[in-house]
Amino acid sequence: MAHPLILASASPRRRELLAQLGVQFEVVVADVTEHEDPTTEPRKMVTHNAALKADWVAARHPEAFVLGADTTVFIDQTVLNKPRDLVEARAMLKRLAGRTHTVFTGVALRRQRDGIRVDEGVTSEVTFRPLDDATIDAYFKVVNPLDKAGAYGIQEGRELIIAGWEGSFTNIMGLPMEATKQILTSWGLVG
């Protein structure tokens, strides 16, 4: 590949989404500690974490384009990252129940060889249905909430918990395809 592309993410959802663009890439998971303070301004947090991942991988693969991303959920002036356990996951879903929240994703593209640095942020809104314990139990049988910001994923089981959304569906999944395609196209990585 003339310009190799590396996805700096362990997320299977990001791998699936990026593959839909028809671009060849490999995955290298960044060995970094993400900033996850729940009081941090969410746009800054996801942009920082996406850049942190991309920079770490780009330092080790200076010839490659490296794509990093980070997603979080934001409600009541608080960031909801991945829950530590099912008790916290249930509390997150109860907090989101019957309300609208914001999903922020930061996307970073790097190539160390020539100093390429692109950072972008995307925002979507998600409205939850009212939820009771039985609905949350049913949802947990369909979805593992522990590997998802806000303890949910929009791509599976959404009929149980989500009333609607505005903005990029793929942003809510973890990689805003419209913005990602535009970034990769501008550097000749997608035709």
Q: Is residue 51 part of a domain?
A: yes
The CA distance from 75 to 120, in Å, is 21
* Residue found by looking up tokens 């990769």 in the block: 184
Task: Look up the domain containing 133 and give its range.
Answer: 5-186
Q: Which two tokens stand for residue 139?
A: 């949802």
70 catalytic per annotation = yes
Distance CA 34, CA 36 (A): 6
Strand partners, 73: 80, 103
Q: What is the CATH number of the domain that holds 80?
A: 3.90.950.10
**Mean pLDDT of successive 10-residue segments in the chain (191 residues)?**
82 94 94 87 95 98 97 94 96 98 98 96 98 97 94 94 97 96 94 76
- Token digits for 79? 């960031």
In a domain, 87, yes or no: yes
Cβ-based neighbour number of residue 41 at 10 Å: 14
Within a domain: 65:
yes
Per-residue model confidence (pLDDT) at position 3: 62
Task: Give the CA count within 13 Å in the CB-facing half-sphere of 17.
Answer: 24
Q: What is the reported pLDDT for 14?
A: 95
DSSP H stretches of helix in the chain? 12-19, 42-60, 86-96, 133-142, 158-161, 169-173, 177-186
Name the phi and psi angles at 93, rounded to 5: -65, -40
Residue 127 in domain: yes
Inside any domain, residue 24 = yes
Residue 134: inside a domain: yes
CB atoms within 10 A of CB 142: 14
Residue 83 lies in a domain: yes
Tell me the one-letter amino acid at 62: P
pTM: 0.92
**How many domains does the chain contain in total?**
1
Q: What is the pLDDT of residue 38?
A: 78
Catalytic residue among 55, 70, 76, 147: 70
**Does residue 191 fall inside a structural domain?**
no
